Amino acid sequence: DIQLTQSPSSLSASVGDRVTITCRASQGIRNELGWYQHKPGKAPRRLIYGASSLQSGVPSRFSGSGSGTEFTLTISSLQPEDFATYYCLQHNSYPRTFGQGTKLEI
């Protein structure tokens, strides 16, 4: 199974900050990775697909990069609505696996 390791597990930040979350895969997964935002009681929302493509309707302050085993999600200027938990997900092979999540807090 492919393990995805996210760092950090939690992060305290302020409105306006630039934030970067890393996701490392235990083996190469090309660009077959997505990033998701999840708020309590809500449906998770895809932000990035194919490691670096922005989902339609998602603000341009979100960006993704990486290929192979190392990936990053960057939020260029945090907004109040961005405080949530973020997950990476690989769809290179079965079983599909998620990172453990990064909780972004004020």
Partner 1 sequence: DVQLVESGGGLIQRGGSLRLSCAASGITFSSYAMSWVRQAPGKGLEWVSLISGSGIGTYYADSVRGRFTISRDNSKNTLYLQMNGLSPEDTATYFCVFGFYFDFWGQGTQVTVSS
Q: Does 101 bind partner 1 (CB under 8 A)?
A: yes
Q: Does 39 bind partner 1 (CB under 8 A)?
A: no
Q: Which is nearer to partner 1, 50 or 76 (CB)?
A: 50
Q: What are phi and psi of 81, to 5 degrees?
A: -75, -5
Q: Does 83 bind partner 1 (CB under 8 A)?
A: no
Q: Does 43 bind partner 1 (CB under 8 A)?
A: yes
Q: Does 104 bind partner 1 (CB under 8 A)?
A: no
Query: Measured between alpha carbons, how far is 79 from 106 in angstroms, rounded to an integer?
Result: 10
Query: Measured between alpha carbons, how far is 28 from 33 in angstroms, rounded to an integer?
Result: 11
Stretch that binds partner 1, among 13-21, 22-30, 40-48, 69-77 (CB under 8 A): 40-48
Residues in Cβ contact with 85 at an 8 Å cutoff, skipping those fewer than 6 apart: 37, 38, 39, 101, 102, 103, 104
Half-sphere exposure of 9 (CA within 13 A, CB side): 1
Contact set with partner 1 (CB under 8 A) = 34, 36, 38, 42-46, 49-50, 85, 87, 89, 91, 94-101
